[in-house]
Amino acid sequence: MRKNVELLIGVLNGAVGDYLHRTGNGLATPMTFVHGEKPLRATRRALLDAYPHATARIAVLVHGLMSVESIWQMPDGETYGSLLARDLGFTPVFVRYNSGLHVSDNGEALDALFERLVDEYPVPVEEILLMGHSMGGLVLRSATHVASEKGRRWLPLATRAFYIGTPHLGAPLERIGNVVSWTLQKVGNPVATLIADILNLRSSGVKDLRFANLRREDWEGADEGALLQNRRHPVPLLPHIRHHLIAGTLSKDPRLGLLFGDALVAVASATGRAEPRHRCSPFPQEHVRIMAGMDHLRIAADPDVYTQIRAWCEETT
């Protein structure tokens, strides 16, 4: 029951989390670590209690839109984090946050949380592995950008980043939502205007997925209802981090897979095949894997995906 309630709150935060935060509603989820399904304070005492056998290698897992950390859980209870702990000696740390806020707001909060983690962790941190599902990958990219501008101590410790079903070029469903609401506003009919107003209640986090906004400058001062207006600012890939991308496709047929992606994210977006019009740094394609026959949720918790993650982690060059 508790898990279902937490999932429902995660969905609510994704849908209208910016409103919950703005009005001080107690259902708004703060940016926090989670251990044993409970929030974990980033203090030395709390971290030591949660991780009595903490290792110098940390794997941080960040969920996506309208989700919570249980998205990572396989039917047998394992997660990519627990398997990395078993096989490679990582200490898994899960993040929970309000996915209805702007990606940049969450990136700033996550950067600050990482810095506290490094300061308060029970043993000296030697390596941080970053892993994000869907929007979680965008939040991680935003956090690394903020950290690079602030000269944070945690950033040089980050060695690898795994983006699983992350819409690096934006999500088509949000662009469709933008077109529909904009068109209805232009009709001038009271009913059409009402429907458009209801559609526009979707959260800032959802609207950021239109073009995968990462920085505050991407949205600040802009009309969120403007028709397909891409205001993205460059966010270079940090050269000291190895970037690994995993995309899912509904169909095992390559042509259908390219057409439908994982049902929510197109293959080109999940694999970071950027063109100049996308205003996004293109990702190296040598560390890209397309998982055929896997939808957007399955790729967050699948043994075959973990096999690829482990193989990349074991690469020495």
- What the chain holds in terms of domains, given with CATH numbers, is 2-170+234-313 (3.40.50.1820), 172-218 (no CATH)
Mean pLDDT value across residues 20-42:
96
* Residues 112, 170: Cα–Cα separation, whole Å: 25
End-to-end distance of the chain based on CA atoms, in angstroms? 46
DSSP-based helix, strand, coil % in the chain, nearest 5: 45, 15, 40
Q: Is the pLDDT of residue 273 over 90?
A: no
For 13-35, give the DSSP string.
Answer: HHHHHHHHHHTT-TTSPPSEEEE
User: What pLDDT, on the 0 to 100 scale, is given for residue 133?
Assistant: 99
Confidence of residue 158 (pLDDT cuts 50, 70, 90): very high
CA distance 100 to 204: 6
**120-124, 175-179, 196-200, 277-281: segment of lowest average pLDDT:** 277-281
Give residue-wise pLDDT tens across range 44-84. Answer: 999 999 999 999 999 999 999 999 999 999 999 999 999 99
Share of residues in the chain with pLDDT > 70 (%): 99
pLDDT at 317: 53
Amino acid at 76: D
Hey, what are 242's tokens? Answer: 């190895």
